[in-house]
Structure 1
Amino acid sequence: MLKEKKEMQNQTFALGKENYKLLLIGFAIIVIGFILMVGGKSDDPSVFNPEIFSFRRITLAPLIVLFGFLFEIYAIMKRSKTGN
C-alpha cells in the first residue's frame, strides 16, 4: 500500500509546463497561417478572380503553417530544465 502511494506521487506528465506553452504558441502560428490562406473567391462564379494566386495565399501562408508544424515538433522534443 505504501509502495503504491509513493509510485503515484512520483508520476508526472510526459511534457512540462513550458512544453505546453510552446505547443499553444505553435498551434496559434498554424491557425494564423490558415487564416492567411482564406479569401480570394469571386462574387460571380462565372468570373475568374486572379487574387486566389496572390503571394500571401500561395507562398507566405503555407510557409507559416510549415514553420508552425516545425515549431510543434520542437515543442514536443524540447527537454525541460528540471529534466529527469
Structure 2
Amino acid sequence: MSKKSRKYRKNNLTETPVKAKPPKETQHIPEFIFGRKNYLFMLIGIGVIALGFIFMAGGGSDDPNVFNPEIYSFRRIRLAPTLVLIGFGIEVYAILLNPDK
C-alpha cells in the first residue's frame, strides 16, 4: 500500500483526506468531597438532630386560658436540646473525619 492510499480515501469522484479520530476519553467519574464514611456520619447526625426537634414538639394546650405544665417536662427542657447539640457535634465530626484512615 502506498503512502497516498493510507492518507486519502477515495470518494466517488474526489479524494478527501481521512481525519484522524481523537482518542477515546476515559469516562470522568465525579469525585465527591467527602467519603462514604463521612456521609454516613452526616446522616446519623441529621437523624439525631431531627429526633431532638421531634422531642421538643408539642406540649401546648388547646385552650389558651388553661396552663399545661407538660411544657416544662424533662424531655423538652433537657433531653431534646441535648440531642440537638449532640447531633451538631456529630455533624462537625463527620466533616472533619478523614475517610482514608
What TM-score do you get using the length of structure 2 for normalisation? 0.69
User: 2:31 is paired with a residue of what secondary structure?
Assistant: coil
Name segments (4+ residues, structure 1) moved above 4 Å: 8-11
Matched, 1:51 2:96: no
2-structure distance, mates of 1:44, 1:76:
45
1:42 counterpart letter in structure 2: S
Question: In 1, Cα distance between the equivalents of 2:51 and 2:60?
Answer: 19
Q: Give the counterpart of 1:25 among 36, 41, 44.
A: 44
> What amino acid is the match of 2:55?
L
Amino acid at match of 1:46: N
Unaligned runs of 5+ in 1: none
- Tell me if 1:62 matches 2:72: no
From the two aligned structures, give the one with the greater helix fraction.
1
Secondary structure of residue in 2 paired with 1:57 = helix
Could you tell me which runs of 5 or more consecutive residues in structure 2 were left unpaired when the two chains were aligned.
1-22
| Count of residue pairs brought into register by the alignment | 79
User: Bigger radius of gyration, 1 or 2?
Assistant: 2
Query: Greater strand percent: which structure?
Result: 2
Considering Cα pairs closer than 8 Å and 6+ residues apart, tell me whether 1 or 2 has the greater RCO: 1
Aligned to 1:35: 54
Equivalent residue of 2:43, what SS? Answer: helix
